[in-house]
Amino acid sequence: MTTALITGSTAGIGAAFARRLAADGHDLVLVARDTKRLREQATELHDRHGIEAEVLTADLATDEGIEAVAARLSELKNPVDLLVNNAGFGNKGRYLDVPMADELRMLKVHCEAVLRLTSAAAESMGTRGRGGIVNVASVAAFVPRGTYGASKAWVVQFTQGAARDLAGSGVRLMALCPGFVRTEFHERAGMGTDNIPGWMWLDADRVVATALSDLARGRTVSIPDPRYKALMGVVKVTPRALLGGVTSRTGRRYGPQ
């Protein structure tokens, strides 16, 4: 029996990870801010799959929240074998429209928490010679898209670098880069999604299935859909200056409003 810790487990992609890992027989540590929702989720997964599900209420935008989760990842008695750094959110508006406090909160959750939790998990997993870490980024990492894209670009670069440094340690790291996924993300940020074409939407359960199979294959970056893989192939060969203009125009036309 192995244990997986998922941040942002109560909704969207995190909830899909929790469902799939519980169905596969893994015990879980569920992390988010809403204790009531976490408890309901833990009970449901325990009843349905017979696994143990711990609840850890933590706000990853605070030092105390990050430290509480890092401490759980360092526990030797009930070690965590798989960490999914998934918690995240969007801020509505362009650069300078978004209050600085919200931009800083995003960097804390998307970058600082991911760094500190990855490090706590990797140290503990390294001593046991096995483990996996999935850091949820986004295809926004590959295009110039404000603080959100920049924070996800950091997640990809950091994960790839750390994966290289930890090669041979038994600890696998992978950045997961989905396109648009139907979750609570856009509604929570107050973003309308009417302009996003239907073909661009991905299903969270499928994203998770591809992510776990890519992790098992030893990939360090997973783009879990052929359509987005093809799009990112084009993005890679497009000059950055041109890319900025194109993504800003298409983002305004087809992106969240």
Active-site positions? 148
Applying CB under 6 A, does 75 fall inside the site for ligand NAP? no
Applying CB under 6 A, does 33 fall inside the site for ligand NAP? yes
User: Cα(225)–Cα(180) distance, rounded to whole angstroms?
Assistant: 11
Is the distance from CB of 207 to CB of 178 less than 8 angstroms? yes
Which of 5, 13, 122, 173: binder of ligand NAP (CB under 6 A)? 13
Applying CB under 6 A, does 222 fall inside the site for ligand NAP? no
**The two structure tokens encoding residue 162:** 């750390």
* Residue at token pair 């010679």: 129
Q: Residue 143, class by beta-carbon neighbours within 10 Å (0-12 exposed, 13-18 middle, 19+ buried)?
A: buried
Residues of this chain, 44-63, that bind ligand NAP according to CB under 6 A? 58-61
Applying CB under 6 A, does 21 fall inside the site for ligand NAP? no
Applying CB under 6 A, does 141 fall inside the site for ligand NAP? no
Please identify, among the stretches 94-102, 156-164, 181-189, 235-243, the one whose residues bind ligand NAP according to the rule CB under 6 A.
181-189
Applying CB under 6 A, does 14 fall inside the site for ligand NAP? yes
Applying CB under 6 A, does 87 fall inside the site for ligand NAP? yes
Residue with Cβ nearer ligand NAP (129 or 143): 143
Q: How far is the CB of 129 from ligand NAP (least distance, A)?
A: 29
Applying CB under 6 A, does 29 fall inside the site for ligand NAP? no
Which of 131, 132, 146, 178: binder of ligand NAP (CB under 6 A)? 178
Residue with Cβ nearer ligand NAP (89 or 126): 89
User: Cα(104)–Cα(116) distance, rounded to whole angstroms?
Assistant: 16
The CA-atom distances, in angstroms, between 35 and each of 7, 8, 40 are 13, 12, 9
Please identify, among the stretches 84-92, 116-124, 158-166, 228-236, the one whose residues bind ligand NAP according to the rule CB under 6 A.
84-92
Contacts 24+ apart (CB under 8 A), 212-215: 212/20, 214/174, 214/176, 215/132, 215/134, 215/172, 215/174
CA end-to-end distance (rounded Å), the chain: 44
Please identify, among the stretches 2-10, 114-122, 210-218, 230-238, the one whose residues bind ligand NAP according to the rule CB under 6 A.
2-10
Q: How many CA atoms lie within 13 A of 24 on its CB side?
A: 16
Q: If you ran DSSP here, which 8-state letter would residue 139 be given?
A: G
Applying CB under 6 A, does 123 fall inside the site for ligand NAP? no
Q: How far is the CB of 170 from ligand NAP (least distance, A)?
A: 26
Residue with Cβ nearer ligand NAP (58 or 80): 58
**The two structure tokens encoding residue 231:** 């799009």
Smallest CA-to-CA distance from 183 within 151, 145, 136 is with: 136
Residues that bind ligand NAP (CB under 6 A): 7-14, 32-34, 37, 58-61, 86-89, 109, 136, 138, 178, 180-181, 183-185, 188
